[in-house]
Amino acid sequence: MLDPRLFRSELESVQQQLKRRGVEFDTDSYLALESRRKDIQVRTQDLQNERNTRSKAIGQAKAKGEDIQPLLDQVQDLGDQLKAAENELGEIQEQLNVIMEGVPNILDESVPAGKSDADNIEISRWGELPQFGFVPKDHVDLGEPLGMNFELGAKIASARFVVLTGKLATLQRAIIQLMLDTHVNEHGYQEAYVPFMANADSLRGTGQLPKFEADLFTVKNDPAFYLIPTAEVPVTNIVRDVIVDAKQMPLKYVCHSPCFRSEAGAYGSDVRGMIRQHQFEKVELVQIVTPEQSAQAHEELTAHAEAILKKLNLPYRKVLLCAGDTGFSSAKTYDLEVWLPGQQKYREISSCSNFKDFQARRLQARWRNPETGKPELVHTLNGSGLAAGRTLIAVMENYQNEDGSITVPEALRSYLGGIEKIV
């Protein structure tokens, strides 16, 4: 959510900013609603003030033993007026809230113009594309003989689920372990274990609700739970309604979790293989920082995700998302795309975003600025470090041999009992 004061004082500039995303903000209906809000709020508070003053007078008169009946007569219809005003105010504020919650974050200045992923800007490339003396297979063909089974996933649950058995399952676990160990031991993150279901308040805090409910799986319960689409949700909500001690900043959490996504809008895309699943494993990096730290923290966090790709010697490129492709809550996002020889394409394996104070405002996540002594909104950031399922795919495809075996990357061998090949 953006600062409501920004709308009141710099409406035109906000409208211009939103245009960069291709969002047309209807200032007329906003202004009409806002001026009603002002009128009614002032009237409501005046009435409340009057009630408070008169009630106090009644109390004092009673204490002196005076007759309070005349005073009671004076306030007779005040209650009804007040209730009507309060109700009207509540309705208007609700309407304003719906509008405000539907407005995406203001983009960082450095975000390039553009409409779709075709306009994203490649920042850098790393690693050498592997050369094969044969036609490389994709992970589906490679995986089948090794224990990757989509039919079983469909039988047990539905399409877009997979069963991994044997060394492939272990390989994925090893990948997760390598990521966690690296981020904890080398990058200074604190490991977190969190609920994999979250309530509506938490989803609202990180921006998935109310706008993106269709992307979530709901668990029947009263009130409903949602399966987390990313560990970002529970981890970032650690600081919801919290004033963080300045000494503890920045807070850096790393969390492995399964992620559940309905992929409602993705019919027909990436139906083959493990690229786009309803359930996948991810190691997520979350940072809670002060506003002045966030730009640098964003670069660092992205580098932390890159470090995993480097350890695994997987070729990748770093992309700065353009205005049209940057997510709703994000001010600026880097994607890391790993090379998949089976597709002859770079595919997203990590998305690292700086949300600035957008999530923090919804979350009421604050820190106490020692300079002002006042609580101020924190900045939140997160990024995949990395998506484990896609990392598994990337390892399989980049490390494949002509006989269909997979060479285990050096960095993972200690996690796999020293074996060098999966056959």
Partner RNA sequence: GGAGAGAUGGCCGAGAGGCCGAAGGCGCUCCCCUGCUAAGGGAGUAUGUGCCAAAAGCGCAUCGAGGGUUCGAAUCCCUCUCUCUCCGCCA
- Annotated catalytic residue within 50, 213, 348, 376: 348
Backbone angles phi, psi at 10, to 5 degrees: -135, 50
Which burial class, exposed, middle or buried, applies to 179 when counting CB atoms under 10 A from its CB (0-12, 13-18, 19+)?
A: buried
* Pairwise CA distance, residues 327 & 105, whole Å: 9
Q: How many residues sit close enough to RNA to count as binding (CB under 7 A)?
A: 31
Assign residue 241 a region: left if phi > 0, alpha if psi is -120 to 50, beta otherwise?
Answer: left
- Annotated catalytic residue within 43, 51, 240, 276: 276
Choices 3-11, 290-298, 341-349, 392-400 (CB under 7 A): range interacting with RNA: 3-11
- Annotated catalytic residue within 261, 361, 362, 366: 261
On the question of a cis peptide bond just before residue 210, with omega within 30 degrees of 0, the verdict is yes
What is the nearest approach in angstroms of RNA to the Cβ of residue 371? 12
Q: At what angle do helices 294-311 and 167-185 cross, to 10 degrees?
A: 140
Q: Is residue 49 near RNA by the rule CB under 7 A?
A: yes
Choices 74-82, 117-125, 180-188, 211-219 (CB under 7 A): range interacting with RNA: 74-82
Residues 394-423, interacting with RNA (CB under 7 A): none
Concerning whether 329 is annotated as a catalytic residue, the answer is no
- Residue 6 or 156 with smaller CB distance to RNA: 6
- Annotated catalytic residue within 202, 350, 390, 397: 390
- Residue 42 or 113 with smaller CB distance to RNA: 42
Nearest to 61 by CA among 50, 52, 51, 72: 72
What is the nearest approach in angstroms of RNA to the Cβ of residue 62? 5
Q: Is residue 41 near RNA by the rule CB under 7 A?
A: yes
Choices 41-49, 127-135, 318-326, 327-335 (CB under 7 A): range interacting with RNA: 41-49
CB atoms within 10 A of CB 287: 25
Contact residue for RNA among 112, 258, 291, 375 (CB under 7 A) = 375
Q: Is residue 48 near RNA by the rule CB under 7 A?
A: yes
* Long-range own/partner contacts, residues 343-351 (CB < 8 A, 24 or more apart): 343/138, 346/316, 346/317, 347/275, 347/390, 348/390, 349/309, 349/316, 349/384, 349/386, 349/387, 349/390, 349/391, 349/394, 350/302, 350/305, 350/383, 350/384, 350/385, 350/386, 350/387, 351/327, 351/383, 351/384
Q: Is residue 4 near RNA by the rule CB under 7 A?
A: yes
> Based on C-alpha coordinates, what's the Rg of the chain?
27
3-state secondary structure of 132: coil
* Pairwise CA distance, residues 355 & 332, whole Å: 7
Q: Is residue 11 near RNA by the rule CB under 7 A?
A: no
Q: Is residue 145 near RNA by the rule CB under 7 A?
A: no
Choices 34-42, 148-156, 292-300, 308-316 (CB under 7 A): range interacting with RNA: 34-42
Q: Is residue 62 near RNA by the rule CB under 7 A?
A: yes
Q: Please list, residue by residue across 47-65, b when 16 or more beta carbons sit within 10 angstroms of its beta carbon and e when fewer do.
A: beeeeeeeeeebeeeeeee
What is the nearest approach in angstroms of RNA to the Cβ of residue 205? 15
Assign residue 325 a region: left if phi > 0, alpha if psi is -120 to 50, beta otherwise?
Answer: alpha
Choices 58-66, 96-104, 156-164, 383-391 (CB under 7 A): range interacting with RNA: 58-66
Token pair for 85: 């005003």
- Annotated catalytic residue within 330, 351, 353, 384: 351
Concerning whether 351 is annotated as a catalytic residue, the answer is yes
DSSP 156-212: HT-TT--EE-THHHHHHHHHHHHHHHHHHHTT-PEE----SEEEHHHHHHHT-TTTT
3-state secondary structure of 260: strand
- Residue 10 or 299 with smaller CB distance to RNA: 10
Which residue, chain included where needed, has tokens 């998305």?
Answer: 351
Residues 235-294, interacting with RNA (CB under 7 A): 243
Q: Is residue 51 near RNA by the rule CB under 7 A?
A: yes
Concerning whether 204 is annotated as a catalytic residue, the answer is no
Concerning whether 317 is annotated as a catalytic residue, the answer is no
- Residue 29 or 414 with smaller CB distance to RNA: 29
Contact residue for RNA among 13, 19, 38, 102 (CB under 7 A) = 38
Q: Is residue 75 near RNA by the rule CB under 7 A?
A: yes
Contact residue for RNA among 19, 56, 155, 345 (CB under 7 A) = 56
- Residue 87 or 165 with smaller CB distance to RNA: 87
Choices 71-79, 280-288, 303-311, 316-324 (CB under 7 A): range interacting with RNA: 71-79
| Residue 258 DSSP label | E
Residue positions annotated with a catalytic role: 261, 276, 348, 351, 390
Binding site for RNA (CB under 7 A): 4-5, 8-9, 38, 41-42, 44-46, 48-49, 51-56, 58-60, 62-63, 72, 75, 78-79, 243, 366, 374-375
